[in-house]
Amino acid sequence: MLPGLEIQGFTPPLSLKDFRLIAFDMDSTLINIECVDEIADAVGRKEEVAAITEAAMRGEIADYKESLRRRVALLKGVTVADMERIYTERLQLNPGAERLVQACKAAGLKVLLVSGGFTFFTDRIRDKLGIDFTRSNVLEIRSGPNCGELTGRMVDQPWGDICDGAEKRKMLLETCAQLGISPQQAIAMGDGANDLPMMGEAGLSVAYHAKPKVREQAMVAINAGGLDRLLEVVR
């Protein structure tokens, strides 16, 4: 028994060398905050936005894209300087994040970050941890008068409009294809309902301090301690 860990569907330990890719959600998984909620705090709307986020992460909102559009609309007027302060003053890597990423890279795994959050933060986390692939959403920033303010909209990207659960799954599968590996050689870690589609494709699914629905479906649930507790299961 490993206190604070739930395991189903296999007998540990597994070998890290059996895997070639690890995919992480960002908000509340790789980092300690929900960025959209903290951005909303800058315009006094954190409570309103956080309630939508919580419902979406629990799987109580069927249309994730629409829920994100609603939340982003409430961010209108937030400045880039506000977001910079959130990054420097509030955002931290969750415990064990660096150790787990380093261990995976040392074992030859590539690292993917897929997020329903925003490139403003995922690009910085990518650079900080040396992550190989990312997919997330782009916040539209006003140019001209009031430049440097959010418009309350997102920018469409070549792959589509919003990184939701379906897009996370698609990016995991595309990355596996690019690497010439099977999805069974991938590990996927997340905490919310929008992580379940990619977790369902991976050879090993890991819930980190997750919502009940996600814990129930994951092969490993880390309910106490840091991300690096996965290394007690996969060595």
Q: Does the annotation mark 25 as catalytic?
A: yes
Q: Does the annotation mark 27 as catalytic?
A: yes
Q: Give the integer Cα–Cα distance in Å for 202 and 177.
A: 13
The two tokens of residue 136 are 């997330």
Selecting among 27, 37, 82, 195, the annotated active-site residue is 27
Selecting among 25, 82, 191, 228, the annotated active-site residue is 25
Nearest to 173 by CA among 230, 131, 112, 219: 112
- Pairing of β 150-155 and β 5-7: unpaired
Q: Which residues are catalytic?
A: 25, 27
